[in-house]
Amino acid sequence: MQSSQFASVVWTTPGLAKLTQALEQGQAFTLTHLSAGSAGYIASHLQTQLRHERQKVPILQAEQLTATQVRFSAVFEGEADYPVKELGIWSGSTLVAVYSAGGEVLNHKSKDVAWLEVISLNLAALPSQQVSFETGVLNTNIFMAKELATSVYAHLRQGKSLIQQANQTMQLAMRLRKANIG
């Protein structure tokens, strides 16, 4: 049964300290990784790690939706099999934010199956113009999914037409050979 309560992201004290330090040095605050774990609890601003982290992966893609909202993605792969009850957002080795909704299962990571997590994050509490992302090598381009699907569909239809034309040409050539015309 799903809970009707909403748990918000908890910004950690170490994460906010790293943000403050970056601002004082005139640098952007860079989010680099997303982690998933299997412990369910109420997140604390004092956390420096997830309670039962199972995987930590690089952020693959990010985009700014509004002045105060960003969306980013990460892919969790491998043999691990666990219920996802906690998510962590990282800047290097510093846990910046935690999301956990008590004991509620947020997702499930299955063995040998890639799981794509997409997060929209409200940065209203932070100076969002100073937040940047370090993205990993695997670029899934999920934010262009509709455009890519349309393009793939068009290419498949074109391929189908070419195959049909080639088939008709072969049939015509066979008829001409049988009639000793070609």
* Nearest-angstrom CA–CA distance, 44 and 51: 11
Q: Could you tell me the CA-to-CA distances from 136 to 34, 69, 75, 110 in Å, in that order?
A: 11, 21, 10, 22
Q: Read off the tokens for 101.
A: 């909704």
Identify whether the C-beta of residue 70 lies closer than 8 Å to the C-beta of residue 123. yes
Q: Which two tokens stand for residue 125?
A: 């509490």
Q: Can you name the residues that pair with 158 across neighbouring β-strands?
A: none
Alpha-carbon separation of residue 77 from 55, 101, 112, 170 (angstroms): 9, 23, 7, 46
Task: Return the pLDDT at 4.
Answer: 42
Percent of the chain with pLDDT over 70: 84
Cα–Cα distances (Å) from 152 to 73, 105, 148, 156, 158, in that order, read: 22, 34, 6, 6, 10
Mean pLDDT for the stretch of residues 74-92? 93
- The domain segmentation of the chain, as residue ranges, is 10-140, 142-182
Q: Give the separation between CA 40 and CA 82, rounded to whole angstroms.
A: 12
- Assess contact for 36 and 49: CB atoms under 8 A: no
Q: Would you say the pTM of this structure is higher than 0.75?
A: no
Look at residue 34 in the predicted model and tell me its pLDDT. Answer: 96
> Tell me: the pLDDT tens digits for 58-72?
998 888 888 888 888
Q: How confident is the model at residue 3 (pLDDT cuts 50, 70, 90)?
A: very low
Question: Residue 144's pLDDT is what?
Answer: 57
149 pLDDT exceeds 90? Answer: no
Q: How much is the average pLDDT of 143-164?
A: 78
